[in-house]
Chains A and B, each alone.
Chain A
Amino acid sequence: MLEPPPYRTVLKPYGSALVDVALEREEILCLSGDLTRQCEIDLFQEKIPERFIHGGMAEAHMMSMAGALARKGHIPFVHTFGVFATRRPYDQIVNSVAYPKLPVRIVGFMPGVSSPGGPSHQAIEDMAIMRAIPGMTVIDVADAVETREAVRQIVDIPGPVYLRLKRGEIPVIFDDDHRMSLDRAQVLTRGDDLAVIACGMMIPAALAAAEILEAAGVSVTVVNTPVIKPFDAGTVLDVARGVQAVVTAENHSVIGGLGSAVAETLATAGLGRPLRRIGLQDTFAEGAKTAPHLFRKYGLSTRDVVAAAWSALGREDPLPDVPELPVATGEYAPV
């Protein structure tokens, strides 16, 4: 089911998946906020130009217009970076799209600190604010296989969707048989000491940490939760009941995203487990040369997951070694 790291990468899995689905479904429209190539939709523009619409740098207008297009039976996929897709047009997403329950698919690229472009370009609270909107589906995928799956699966969701996608070289973590479920989180490894619940770009670090912890005698369940909302509380509770402690990992603020969803789930069920939340600790990040530097600096590395596990389990002995995986050009490995 899982490929071994370092992972090979592919280009434009989203863009090609959208074209494939749109060729079958003529209701699909493709809207771009002046980030066409960056959002992989140059493929759509080339193949289906009559359904490609330049919105320009006008996100507020683009969201309200997408809502009206959806009222008329179209299925608009709206593209820009995650920061611009959520912060600037929040009122328009709420009033023109979500409140009327319209099938607009908001696709935000460059999640969390995957962008070294600084706070203006780093979507660190997009899942939180999208999750707070009634009826919004929120998805943070891990790899190219899941990306393709997600595109196909969200087409017919009755209400709005926020899909969060890594930009650029996309790792292949899952094999071709992998199926993403909108309803069920997926248990990737099973163990009975600790659960690591992760989404999106933190899946590789979760898997790497689990391997290191296993070698140190800690048996780990890794859960992949691409769908942050509606959240699969059932799987999370089943898993949490079988372990001593829980760590969540997301490329996002620890406020309002996956970590919060897990905390709400455990507390509502009255299930007490030590919980550590990996993510941005209520801070903005910064501009840098490379994203891996920021993953390290802001506590999103494999070592941080291992340290959180150690802390959650009450271990006071030294951390196990966390070796750096060598990465060749065109490969992807967790920091």
Chain B
Amino acid sequence: MPAVTTGADVNRFADSVRLRAVRMVAPHGFGYLGQVLSSAELVSTLYSTAYRPDRDQLVCSPGHYIIAVFAAAAEAGLLDEDLLATYGFNDSSLEAIGTERSPAVDLTCGSLGTGLSGGVGFALSNRLKGVDDARTFVLASDGELEEGQTWEAALFAGHQRLGRLVVLLDANDSQVDGPVSSITTIDPIAAKFEAFGWDAYDVDGHDVDALTSALASAGTHDRPSVVIARTSTRQGLQVLPAHADGHFIKLPAPLAQDAVSELEARLA
């Protein structure tokens, strides 16, 4: 874990993640950019303040979010940044939806709603082996809360009091058919998890100070934790048109160039 990280550092990390992701998606003209825009601060706070790759486990439950992890891992020096240019192309190990070949994570799942169970398995294994100094971080999405398996896993983790398990929930209110809230009411999320025996931190997912504070506490008590990051799939990229589909953003070349310019200007 970096010794001293300021909020400004994390914000800069997040914009660098956005810029890397824009460059990964641009050659294809479309892709899972909205997931990066919404989770950039969450993932950046994780990498900057909490995640220790030599000890902790990282699960990227929705495989579509793997682009955010790739970008953040490269930014953190954990993944060869030259690889990012191969993202989504034939024969690349950086497939657009995460698979067993995906670097930088202990587990990622293309079939949504299965990752929390994987994280529960890791946390349970640590307990069985007497390892207390390791947290298991599960990046998950609000749409996955519609899958029953998520709640099977949440019940189990609560019952087992897996206190080193931390769910990082990107609540961006976006799924394929539209806003999650227009399809299934999943709120109140915190109360649901609390009722299952979890600690819940419901925060502005673009506020790195709030995220840093939540991540410092989550996974250090005797109950599993969920950090509910309220986010937007349009965050941090003004040039996106108002009608952009957050699940699968179209990024034609002129728009990609505008996006690069905007982010480069902010990082300059």
Residues on A lying within 8 angstroms of B by beta carbon are: 29, 50-51, 53, 55-56, 58, 60-69, 71-74, 91-92, 94-96, 99-100
Contacts and interface: CB of A to CB of B under 8 A. Distances in A.
Contact of A96 (B106, B117, B155): B117
B132 interface: no
Contacts of B109: 95-96
Contact of B114 (A58, A69, A95): A95
Given A64-B149, A91-B111, A96-B118, A69 B124 contact: yes
B125 A72 contact: yes
A64 B156 contact: no
A73 B126 CA distance: 11
A72 B121 contact: yes
Nearest to A92: B114
Contact of B124 (A53, A60, A73): A53
Nearest to B122: A68
Contacts of A91: 111, 114
B156 A68 contact: no
Contacts of A74: 125, 128
Contacts of B149: 58, 60-61, 64, 92
Contacts of A62: 117
A72 B114 contact: no
Main secondary structure of the interface of B (DSSP, over half): helix
A95 B110 contact: yes
A56 B121 contact: no
Contact of B156 (A29, A58, A73): A58
B100 interface: yes
Interface in B96-139: 100, 106-107, 109-111, 114, 117-122, 124-126, 128-129
B155 A95 contact: no
Given A95-B114, A100-B100, A68 B107 contact: yes
Contacts, number: 82
Contacts of B107: 68, 71
B155 A58 contact: yes
Interface in B175-214: none
B148 interface: yes
A65 B129 CA distance: 16
Q: Which of A53, A69, A91 is most buried by chain B, counting CB atoms within 10 A of its CB?
A: A69
Interface of A is mostly: helix
B114 A64 contact: yes
Contacts of A65: 117-118, 120-121, 124, 153, 156
B100 A69 contact: no
A65 B153 CA distance: 8
Nearest to A51: B128
B258 interface: no
B9 interface: no
Contacts of A58: 149, 152-153, 155-156
Contacts of B106: 71
Contacts of A73: 125
A92 B109 CA distance: 10
A68 B125 contact: yes
B113 to A, nearest CB: 8
21 contacts: A51-B128, A58-B156, A60-B117, A60-B148, A60-B149, A61-B149, A61-B153, A63-B117, A64-B117, A64-B153, A65-B153, A67-B121, A68-B117, A68-B118, A71-B107, A74-B125, A91-B114, A92-B111, A92-B114, A96-B109, A96-B117
